[in-house]
């Protein structure tokens, strides 16, 4: 059995990763540092689901991070892992959209998640604790 995150990138990955970096303004989503390879800030795209075959339309599965942040969160920040502490601000949009997909079967846009960010980021807690849900 192959470990998640290992294996071949899907066709079109290089172009997709470049597009994500361009959409992010060539800035790390976690620390806000610009792409600056000579000083150790090379932008990468992290698979938050640890699945290289994740469909490209699941925007929430891919985070543009500098290499330093990528290495810091690698295998520590995983979408499908229960968290008992509040999520970091940079992570909330990703986890909120993931929870909408996981629990409600909907693929929200970034704009839809951002319109009610705290609700979507806390969706899993609402469900697991049995709280009333009403977006």
13 and 74 together in one domain = yes
Contact yes or no for 101/124 (Cβ under 8 A): no
Locus of tokens 């469909």: 55
Among the candidates 59, 81, 103, a domain finishes at: 81
Average pLDDT over residues 47-51: 91
pLDDT of 11 above 50: yes
Among the candidates 66, 81, 96, a domain finishes at: 81
**pTM of the predicted model as reported, rounded to 2 decimal places:** 0.86
Q: Which domain holds residue 49?
A: 1-81
23 and 58 together in one domain = yes
36 and 63 together in one domain = yes
45 and 25 together in one domain = yes
54 and 73 together in one domain = yes
- pLDDT, position 96: 95
pLDDT of 75 above 50: yes
Phi/psi for 40 (5° steps) reads 85, 20
Confidence of residue 1 (pLDDT cuts 50, 70, 90): very low
Phi/psi for 47 (5° steps) reads -85, 100
Count structural domains, the chain. Answer: 2
47 and 92 together in one domain = no
Locus of tokens 């000083």: 39
Of 4-8, 53-57, 102-106, minimum mean pLDDT range: 4-8
60 and 90 together in one domain = no
Q: Could you tell me which residues come within 8 angstroms of residue 72 by beta carbon, excluding any fewer than 6 positions away?
A: 30
């Amino acid at each position: 059995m192959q470990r998640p995150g290992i294996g071949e990138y899907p066709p079109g990955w290089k172009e997709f990763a470049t597009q994500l970096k361009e959409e992010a303004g060539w800035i790390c989503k976690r620390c806000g540092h610009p792409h600056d390879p000579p000083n150790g800030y090379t932008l990468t795209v992290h698979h938050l689901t640890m699945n290289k075959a994740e469909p490209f339309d699941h925007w929430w599965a891919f985070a543009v991070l500098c290499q330093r942040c990528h290495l810091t969160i690698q295998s520590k920040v995983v979408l499908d892992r229960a968290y008992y502490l509040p999520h970091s601000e940079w992570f909330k949009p990703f986890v909120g959209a993931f929870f909408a997909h996981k629990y409600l079967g909907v693929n929200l846009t970034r704009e839809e998640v951002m319109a009610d960010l705290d609700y979507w980021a806390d969706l899993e807690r609402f469900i697991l604790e049995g709280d009333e849900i009403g977006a």
